[in-house]
Amino acid sequence: MRCKMVVKSELDKLGLHYTKIELGEVEVMENLTEEQLKLLKYSLLQSGLELMDNQKSILIEKIKNTILEMVLYNEEMPKINFSEHLSNKLKHDYTYLANLFSEVTGVTIEHYIIIHKIERVKELILFDELNLTEIAFKLNYSSVAHLSNQFKKITGLTPTFFKYLRNKKITALNDV
């Protein structure tokens, strides 16, 4: 949300009109001059943001944002297959998206999704509101065993041991 506000502010400062501001995408009504483009790039950079005008980079960011939106920001993950969801949302063949993503990032889309799902699992474990079965269901894992195997593969820890370490840290902090 902060990023959108920064982008809006910078566009307003430059007197540019926009029809759409989404995470990773802006539609500006005017044709930008070289000078306006240079100023926009500079002002966004000063705010820690980057203006991308390369179509491949833009598509990679859209893939990442779509995955993050699905995994981190949805209350429940869509029951639809990830590849189907990405293809539908980004209007490209999944094979093309997967090859481009791997070529540019050095990581497969599947691995990128798994890493972010495990981050979400860690977050849910730390909140301590759901048990592992509920977390597995919420994130569309086929079983708790599947979730646990992926968790250990990525973190080197079992979910149970991760939770134990968290509880141990809290106990240690309470003793201070």
pLDDT one-digit tens code per residue, 45-99: 888 777 766 778 888 988 998 998 888 776 666 667 889 989 999 999 999 999 9
pLDDT at position 174 is 57
Kindly tell me if the per-residue pLDDT of 127 is higher than 60: yes
pTM (2 decimals)? 0.69
Residue reference for tokens 């500079």:
42
Pairing of the two strands 25-28 and 18-22: antiparallel
Tokens of 134: 């509920």
Residue reference for tokens 């240690």:
172
94-105 vs 109-127: helix crossing angle, rounded to 10 = 80
Residues in contact with 141: Cβ distance below 8 Å, sequence separation at least 6, in sequence order: 147, 150
Q: What value does the mean pLDDT of the chain take? A: 85
pLDDT at position 175 is 59
The residues with which 27 forms a beta bridge, in sequence order, are 20
pLDDT band of residue 23 (cuts 50, 70, 90) is: low
109-127 vs 159-175: helix crossing angle, rounded to 10 = 40
Distance CA 130, CA 123 (A): 11
List the chain domain ranges: 2-51, 57-175
Query: CATH homologous superfamily for 57-175?
Result: Homeodomain-like (1.10.10.60)
Q: How much is the CA Rg of the chain, to the nearest whole Å? A: 20
Distance CA 176, CA 171 (A): 9
Tokens of 49: 């943001």
Q: Under DSSP, is residue 33 helix (H, G, I), strand (E, B) or coil?
A: coil
